[in-house]
Amino acid sequence: MPADRISSPSSLAETLRALARDQVRGADGSKIDSNASDVAHPRVEAQQGIEPLRRRLRALVRDTDINDPQAIAAIRDHALREILLWEFGGDFRKDSQFQPMVEALGKALEIDETYRQRFTALLAELQRTPS
């Protein structure tokens, strides 16, 4: 799987994947057995094409002022949901950990300046790319 699936700031995508993987670890740090959690967590299938995600994200950020931190914060969770649903499949929204994961990723972007800069760079790249 290529590392630069979303845009040139591929490290943001990798960071989001790593944070998402950390969210599905048990309290003791061990990975939760996916077979044991099938009943509570529906199986998800990732989308294959990147273009549908890019189109949705471009539409989302088209009128966003990327120099305004409040404007970026206003669309952040929506963009994270789009990315997670593309990465893990639409059924993932039914998972009980979906919204907590979105919130945890949003907080990570809010707290860490590097993550925030990468996210802003992703938005800027999406705005520069023609529809």
pLDDT digits (tens, 9 = 90+) for 99-116: 999 999 999 989 999 999
pLDDT at 34: 42
User: What distance in Å separates the CA atoms of residue 30 and residue 131, rounded to the nearest whole number?
Assistant: 42
**How does pLDDT run across 27-77, given as a tens digit for each residue?**
445 544 444 444 454 454 555 688 888 999 999 999 999 999 999 999 999
pLDDT at 130: 79
pLDDT at 87 over 60: yes
The torsion angles phi and psi of 31, rounded to 5 degrees, stand at: -70, 135
Average pLDDT over residues 10-35: 58
pLDDT at 7 over 70: no
Residues 6 or more apart whose Cβ sits within 8 Å of residue 101 = 19, 20, 23, 84
Average pLDDT over residues 6-33: 57
pLDDT at 101: 93
Question: How many CA atoms lie within 13 Å of 12's alpha carbon, on the beta-carbon side?
Answer: 26
pLDDT category at 129 given cuts 50, 70, 90 is confident
User: For 41, left (φ over 0), alpha (ψ -120 to 50), or beta?
Assistant: beta
Cα Rg, the chain, nearest whole Å: 15
User: Would you say 6 and 50 are in contact if contact means Cβ atoms under 8 Å apart?
Assistant: yes
Pick the more confident residue, 68 or 11: 68
Cβ neighbours of 61 (radius 10 Å): 21
